[in-house]
């Protein structure tokens, strides 16, 4: 877990994080440390704030309380220009890919290079083709996003995410909506790119099998706190009822099936809803 002192082995340190939306507490004294060079998964049931946590780590929203350090920088103290510079060290793979539909594959990958650098077009071309080669889609450079399968679109988005050679790459539900073959390709790419490029990879997902295949360590969060942490093997052997329910996909357990509601019989008989 994150400590009061900065650990240089950690790319991200979150200590005592509190964050609310209206009256609802999303995080309550959350502590997470993400080791540099590792693939770390953040898992939990839908609605537990996994994507919100990514938004906090990338500075899109600020915590109400607590400390969030990314590459040693306190996110709450950064100026707009400092945050802009820090984000150049980040790559982000959105859940739906978020490709520009009116631009070719090549232009999508070239976009961050043109936006953030003054590189000559000849060098941009080399980088774009290199990144597309890394995800196996150099031959698709002239295609439009509408001509791609879901798995191909996700791979193009991944090539764009690594175009600037980031230190950290964030994956928001990278396996959602993919067929088994495409899912297997993305899993292998995440692992291979992390190790070959020396990245720190942070995956938000509820796909237990795929995350267990690719991650070095995982956090399970619920009710605003970390309920379990460890390697995939350690989580598999965890005896907690909550962890077992989530990891095994069990219908019965600490996570209820029904959303809180008034008494069923009373409501059917016409009493006012609370």
Angle at CA 50, nearest 5°, toward 131 and 154? 25
Residue 34 has what pLDDT?
Answer: 94
What does the pLDDT look like over 192-249, one tens digit per residue?
889 988 899 999 887 778 888 889 999 988 888 888 898 888 888 877 776 777 776 6
Residue 254 has what pLDDT?
Answer: 60
Nearest to 169 by CA among 230, 111, 89, 231: 89
Tell me: pLDDT of 38 over 90. Answer: yes
Banded model confidence at residue 9, pLDDT cuts 50, 70, 90: confident
Highest mean pLDDT pick, 226-230, 261-265, 268-272: 226-230
What are residue 179's DSSP bridge partners? none
Contacts of 37 (CB under 8 A, 6+ apart): 194, 198, 199, 200
Give the integer Cα–Cα distance in Å for 190 and 38.
11
Percent of the chain with pLDDT over 90: 41
Task: Indicate the SS3 state at residue 17.
Answer: strand
Residue 259 has what pLDDT?
Answer: 64
Tell me: pLDDT of 2 over 80. Answer: no
Give the integer Cα–Cα distance in Å for 273 and 89.
50
Percent of the chain with pLDDT over 70: 89
Name the average pLDDT for the chain.
85
Beta-carbon count within 10 A of 79 CB:
8
What does the pLDDT look like over 102-115, one tens digit per residue?
999 999 999 999 98
Banded model confidence at residue 258, pLDDT cuts 50, 70, 90: low
Banded model confidence at residue 7, pLDDT cuts 50, 70, 90: low
Could you tell me how many residues make up the chain?
Answer: 274
SS (H, E, C) 58-82: CCCCCCCEEEEEECCEEHHHCCHHH
Which of 31-35, 158-162, 238-242 is least confident? 238-242
Contact of 43 with 206, CB cutoff 8 Å: yes
């Amino acid at each position: 877990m994150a400590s009061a002192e900065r650990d240089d082995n950690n790319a991200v340190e979150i200590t005592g994080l509190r964050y609310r939306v209206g009256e609802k507490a999303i995080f309550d004294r959350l502590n997470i440390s993400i080791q540099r060079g590792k693939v770390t998964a953040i898992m939990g049931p839908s609605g537990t704030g996994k994507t919100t946590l990514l938004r906090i780590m990338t500075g899109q929203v600020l915590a109400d309380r607590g400390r969030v350090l990314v590459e040693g920088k306190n996110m709450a103290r950064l100026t707009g220009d400092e945050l802009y510079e820090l984000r150049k060290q980040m790559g982000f793979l959105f859940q739906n890919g978020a490709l520009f539909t009116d631009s070719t594959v090549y232009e999508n990958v070239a976009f961050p290079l043109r936006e953030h650098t003054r590189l000559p077009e000849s060098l941009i071309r080399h980088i774009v083709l290199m990144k597309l080669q890394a995800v196996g889609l150099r031959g698709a450079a002239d295609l439009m996003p509408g001509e791609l399968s879901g798995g191909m679109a996700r791979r193009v988005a991944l090539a764009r995410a690594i175009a600037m050679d980031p230190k950290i790459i964030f994956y928001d539900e990278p396996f959602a909506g993919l067929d088994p073959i495409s899912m297997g390709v993305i899993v292998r790419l995440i692992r291979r790119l992390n190790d070959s490029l020396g990245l720190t990879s942070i995956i938000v997902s509820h796909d237990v099998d795929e995350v267990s295949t690719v991650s070095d360590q995982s956090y399970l969060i619920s009710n605003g706190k970390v309920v379990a942490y460890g390697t995939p093997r350690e989580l598999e052997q965890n005896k907690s009822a909550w962890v077992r329910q989530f990891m095994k996909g069990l219908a019965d357990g600490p996570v209820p099936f029904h959303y809180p509601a008034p008494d069923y019989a009373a409501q059917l008989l016409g009493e006012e809803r609370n």
